[in-house]
Structure 1
Amino acid sequence: MRYIIRLAGLVSLLLLTTSSIAAQDAEPISVIGSGIVNRLVEVLAEAGEHDTLSFKRVGSATGIDEFCNGEIDIATAVRPMSSAEKAICSANQVKHSEFLVGYHIVAVIAHPDAPIQCLSHGRLESVLKPSASNIAGDWSDFDPEAAALPLTLVIPQDDRIDYLILDSLIAGDGLRADVSIYEESESAVTEVGATPGALGFVAWSPDLPSHSAIALLDIDAEDNGACFSPSVENVEAGAYKAALPMRLIVNRALLSQNATLAEFFRLIEDETNASAIASAGVTPPSGTSYDLNAQVLLDENAAGDFSADFQVPANLSGRLHIVGAASAFDALDRVAGLLTQDNAAFEIDLKLMGRAKGMESLCAGEADIAVLDADLTDAESSACADGDIRATTTKIGAQATVLLGNVADDYTRCLTTQQVNTVWRAESAETVTSWSMVDPSFPDIGMTLFGLSLLDQASDILLQTAAPPIPPIRRDTEKDYNPLYRAAAAGNV
């Protein structure tokens, strides 16, 4: 099937051009956007003996913005186009297609004496965050029995792509400073292999696993015990997060007019040119992605298909049964509407009747997905295992309830969860009516509360730290279901 697609892509390119490259002078190609991707395009152009490309390095966002004016052939980016950017292109009648051309992938390596084989995201953040600087470290955080093994961190200098990828995974500005810094990955591999207790972060390459002096570690990106090794397949599946995609966005109208541009995209679409991508220190896409590139090149209506990490199949069909916590209904209902409106043969059945009933359905094999508002418990996992169902978790987001107080009331600026529960739980109605009843250190001032609807999911989030089951919210409050009104009222009282 892949060869059929490849042949169709070649035929389409021949149709795109009015004459062969040999019959005319090479035409100029304008490229704008990410300097990181531009360097890869330069390598590909050299491999294909294309010398008419001109480059402008302005970053992904500015590059896409200028591209949408309709006069530039190619925009380069390290992320998908946003919906706002696509809307600008559409408003300017600039039809475009996105192509995935490779990845920068970061691998975690360690000295062979490392007591772990998989590094969780939580541990990764704890050792690399800026606030961890100048704290003497050892491996005891990973294994209590490894306290005698010093931890030596080896990271790239801050102008390398590897550093930027790591920084994107860690909260805070930059990474910790008390580390060994390298300029080239080869020197980092040598240092880690020669230093007991060393932990390093280097650019992935196919020959990395063959180094006997180091251990290649997996990453648990979701902190759920699911560990994945660095590979293009795991990156494209969304399982391995330490990676940066490389994307090209082409103007379809200019592609049909510029024979040199069409010839260049035949080079991009041809998997036999993957070696040129690898020579630039970039991991080529998978065969599946090459096939998708061929489909996008063949069909101009496929413009934007690569604007997400996952491509929804054109022939999507079937039925998906989702159960669980009702707090996720609004978000899932919107997603379900978007998926089903374009896929008539696909149905999503939302029955969000609570976590307990949802897990019962999942473990009985009656549901496909259970939405949870807290971590999967050992008891729930065991119940599914008893039904021969292996449950795995994926974080899809978080919801928050925000408390607003009057700016003059400094005593309410930082409330403990116990104080929040005391203020808002139903048992406090008509009894806890002044702030001194919440905490003796607070002034003896009457409280005015602007409350939530009894069924508002934000009330469960607000009181989730109370002893289970989550109690109802108190009703002796000023009630208005407009959040903007409640915010303004708190500022005025």
Structure 2
Amino acid sequence: MRRFGKRAAVVIGAASFLLSTAACGSGGGDGTSGEVAVDGSSTVYPMSNTAAELLAEENSNIEVSVGFSGTGGGFKAFCEEGRTDISNASRPIKDEEAAACADTGTDYTELLVATDALTVVVHPDLDVQCITVDQLKRIFGPDDSATNWSDLDPSFPDVKITGFIPGTDSGTYDYMNADVVASEQEILREDFESSEDDNVLVQGVAGTQGAVGFFGYSYYEENADSLKALEIDSGAGCVAPSAETAQSGDYTPLARPLFIYVSDAAYADNTAVKEYVDFYIENLAEIATIAQFIPLNDSDYAATKSAVEALG
């Protein structure tokens, strides 16, 4: 069971603020009832779950279930099995997943909901502050993999590298693999422990000397007292992950978009899905902030809002 202790406290404390600002949104006092099924990315889970909890304060007749089977698992449930109305994703849908949706007649709308700074974390006692993208590839890629921190740089400590990474169903795994490591083998190294639960990765890195891992920025923020985030040098100097560097484009190549995919038919036919999605997007900036994500800039938010309006 996923734990969100610190985030839950933030949500509870901030709920009254969000709901006071959401009065001009889609509302929820019209008596709409029904069920909404959401699954997919564990990274996006906190946002979609926060939206569900806050909507429940306005309309307790809508029951939203939010799972976190991973981006790939979510698209399987959404496209192939038709078990969900909305799929959370920490990467864009793949061609084969889109084809599976087409085969089952599942039309969908992609909605950008937040920006993430994919964060590389190490054990807090490790005497390393910044790594290059090439060193990042040697840590996580299957080719010429480093086994000791000193393999990467003689000035780094002589400590074994132990890794904790997302599972292969995770969009975070896919993003690191395809957009950062870009290995011809199309996999990350296989001698690291993996899990679809980001909290397992947090505990592994925090409890193991020399450990390294990666996940969404919000999980680092939630556990910053037990982890250290590495700065990344992509050629223009060391840059730390933050909301500002992700939005500005300085945190490359680890700044990434986060999405929800909405079934067009579910939005049109299920008033509960429509109300949940409308509430989610109408209050997107507040939800992102409460769930400790990086809100969209104005132009990206306008595009997302327009995409929802096009759904009708």
Specify the TM-score bucket, using the shorter chain as the normaliser.
0.5 to 0.7
Gaps of 5+ in 2: 1-21
1:36 and 2:11 matched: no
1:285 and 2:295 matched: yes
The residue aligned with 1:52 is 63
Q: Which has the higher contact order (CA 8 A, sep 6+)?
A: 2
Q: Secondary structure at the match of 1:28?
A: strand
Cα deviation, 1:385-430, whole Å, max 9, x if unaligned, reads xxxxxxxxxxxxxxxxxxxxxxxxxxxxxxxxxxxxxxxxxxxxxx
Cα deviation, 1:68-103, whole Å, max 9, x if unaligned, reads x8x964233332245783897699694634232464
Q: Secondary structure at the match of 2:131?
A: strand
Cα deviation, 1:301-335, whole Å, max 9, x if unaligned, reads 9xxxxxxxxxxxxxxxxxxxxxxxxxxxxxxxxxx
Alignment of 1:31-180 (within 5 A): 31=38, 34=40, 36=42, 39-40=45-46, 41-49=48-56, 51-53=62-64, 59-63=73-77, 65-66=79-80, 73-81=85-93, 85=98, 94=107, 96-101=109-114, 103=116, 105-109=118-122, 114=127, 117-130=129-142, 137-139=148-150, 141-143=152-154, 146=155, 149-156=157-164, 159=167, 166=176, 169-170=180-181, 171=183, 172=185, 173-175=187-189, 177=191
Structure 1 contact 153–200 (Cα < 8 Å) conserved: yes
The residue aligned with 1:250 is 262
Distance 2:263 2:147 in 1: 53
Question: TM-score of the superposition, structure 1-length normalised?
Answer: 0.41
Cα deviation, 1:121-159, whole Å, max 9, x if unaligned, reads 2112223444657x763526424xx37x30332432664
Q: Secondary structure at the match of 1:52?
A: strand
The residue aligned with 1:264 is 276
1:273 and 2:283 matched: no
CA 1:91 to 1:210, structure 2 compared with 1: closer, same or farther past 3 Å?
A: closer
Which one is further off, 198-207 or 86-95? Answer: 86-95
Q: Secondary structure at the match of 2:231?
A: strand
Distance 1:230 1:140 in 2: 24
Distance 2:138 2:63 in 1: 48
Please identify the structure whose Cα radius of gyration is greater: 1
Distance 2:165 2:78 in 1: 28
Alignment of 1:52-451 (within 5 A): 52-53=63-64, 59-63=73-77, 65-66=79-80, 73-81=85-93, 85=98, 94=107, 96-101=109-114, 103=116, 105-109=118-122, 114=127, 117-130=129-142, 137-139=148-150, 141-143=152-154, 146=155, 149-156=157-164, 159=167, 166=176, 169-170=180-181, 171=183, 172=185, 173-175=187-189, 177=191, 183-185=200-202, 188-189=205-206, 191=208, 198=210, 200-203=212-215, 204-205=217-218, 207=221, 216-221=229-234, 224-235=235-246, 237=249, 239-242=251-254, 245-252=257-264, 254-269=266-281, 270=283, 271-278=285-292, 283-288=293-298, 289-300=300-311
Q: How many residues align?
A: 266
Distance 2:117 2:42 in 1: 10
Gaps of 5+ in 1: 1-8, 15-19, 302-493
AA partner of residue 280 (structure 2): I
The residue aligned with 2:15 is none
Question: TM-score of the superposition, structure 2-length normalised?
Answer: 0.60
Distance 2:163 2:206 in 1: 11
> Structure 1 residue 26: deviation in Å?
0.7
Distance 2:227 2:43 in 1: 30
AA partner of residue 185 (structure 1): V
Q: Secondary structure at the match of 2:161?
A: strand
Percent identity over paired residues: 14
Distance 1:188 1:78 in 2: 22
The residue aligned with 2:29 is 22
CA 1:103 to 1:91, structure 2 compared with 1: closer, same or farther past 3 Å?
A: same
What CA RMSD, in Å, does the superposition of the two structures yield over aligned residues?
Answer: 4.8
The residue aligned with 1:322 is none
Structure 1 contact 10–266 (Cα < 8 Å) conserved: no
